Amino acid sequence: MDLGKRVYQHSESAGVTLVTLAPERVPDLFIRFLVSRGVRVSLGHSMATYEQTFAAMADGLTGFTHLFNAMPPLAARQPGPIMAALESPDCWYGLIVDGIHVAPPMLRLALEGAGTPMLVTDAMPSVGGTKGSFTLYGREIFAQGGRVTTPDGTLAGSGIDMASAVRNCVDLLGVSLAAALAFASRAPADFLGIGDRFGRIAPGYRADMVALDPAGVRVLGTWLAGAYENT
């Protein structure tokens, strides 16, 4: 089935397959087909209308990849996928909380929505390194002052890690640390359908843990499946 260029992307983690797609670009019943086979479907890089988004959700779409980015903005007569997400209690939407991709007032609006926010980084290879540029799909990308852009200034991913996203929730959005941590852990696990074994510190859950200095939200240590990782 030829779905055209960049209509969908997929990734696999913890035995779960996640597909990000543009609902308006895939055949009828394609989303329903994926969901029937246990795939989690998310809207992203899409120009779908409000009505098309709700039709996709009726077929089983439950996620929104980096809400606000790479989709139509909210407008008075064209609410688009953003409003569909904010009105739907049975969906999850990723937010890039770097203060660059989305203005803090819009992020605060998303936190008031009926759906469940979750943090995504959209991090590029420069995160955690010292180089000021790298190559992506044959194009030079520049990372400076927290911004990651193409030579013409177009955003090309973000320059934050997850700890920074949590910290920004507290500092920029006035969210409690406990809530911000839930956006980074429990919410994504629930979205992927693995919230019964990931995303919480509790008996029977996999011991993926991060120790943080609560004052500065600085990572002190990391454990993967109970094994300490030198950070």
Which residues have a catalytic role annotated?
Answer: 122
The residue with tokens 């903005």 is 73
**3-state SS string over the chain?**
CCCCCCCEEEEEECCEEEEEECHHHCCCCHHHHHHHCCCEEEECCCCCCHHHHHHHHHCCCCEECCCCCCCCCCCCCCCHHHHHHHHCCCCEEEECCCCCCCCHHHHHHHHCCCCEEEECCCECCCCCCCCCEEEECCEEEEEECCEEECCCCCEEEECCCHHHHHHHHHHHHCCCHHHHHHHHCHHHHHHHCCCCCCCCCCCCCCCCEEEEECCCCEEEEEEECCEEECC
Distance CA 95, CA 40 (A): 18
Contacts of residue 70, defined as CB under 8 A and 6 or more positions apart, other chains included, come to: 44, 45, 46
